[in-house]
Amino acid sequence: MQQRGVRTVRSLIAYYSRSGENLVNGVVQYLGIGNTEVLAYILRRFTGADIFRIQPVTDYSENYFRCIDQARQDLQRNYMPPLKEYPKHFREYQVIYLGYPNYWGTMPMPVYTFLSQMDLSGKIIKPFCTHEGGGMGRSEQEIRKLCPQAQIMEGLPICGTGLNYELSDIEEWAQETNTTSDILSRRNLQ
């Protein structure tokens, strides 16, 4: 039951993920669902947040080697591909869980497009990243550059092949975010 005068903090999980051939333990394997999408839905269980998939108009190739080459070229050219859609009612969200795989030490360019097109002023951004050894890379610094008016919290790097083994770390990180959301909610009431 919501207390009178207390606003509920709304959260959104916005993520980019790619199925198809991916690198798993150093070997290219086909994944029907990308690791970041799996992690996004795990976080949804822990947070109850709404969910939105960041999708470029033209997807990267399902072939792993073509995909990484396309991603490298986009990054080098600073090409931000257009997206199919953007979340509705975005202003209502105070906390944004932002998920992506590590591409070339940072985020895929569709995530750059998302961040550059959305007004994230005053929002809390909680990045999470799947990787096969590169961690968060420089993505947190890039988010800070793109979103100087947002509060960027510590990110969660999860090795894609370790998703099932790191559930307690994922849940703990989500709980820290919930505590942050509670603080934000109280701050907005003052």
The residue among 35, 62, 115, 117 whose CA lies nearest residue 70 is 62
Gap between the Cα atoms of 186 and 190, Å rounded: 7
The token pair that represents 74 in the structure block: 């986009």
Question: What's this model's pTM, rounded to 2 decimal places?
Answer: 0.88
What torsion, rounded to 10 degrees, do the Cα atoms 128, 133, 137, 139 define? Answer: -30
| Tens digits of residue pLDDT in 85-116 | 999 999 999 999 999 999 999 999 999 999 99
Asked if residue 176 has pLDDT above 90, the reply is no
Q: Which of 34, 71, 68, 11 is nearest to 160 (CA)?
A: 34
Distance (Å, whole) CA 121 – CA 128? 19
Q: Is 101 helix (H, G, I), strand (E, B) or coil?
A: strand
Alpha carbons within 13 A on the beta-carbon side of 190: 5
DSSP class of residue 133 equals S
pLDDT at 181: 47
Burial of 106 (0-12, 13-18, 19+ CB in 10 A): buried
| pLDDT tens-place string over residues 32-67 | 999 999 999 999 999 999 999 999 999 999 999 999
Task: Look over the chain and give the mean of its residue pLDDT values, rounded to a whole number.
Answer: 89
136: helix, strand or coil: coil
Q: Is the pLDDT of residue 23 over 60?
A: yes
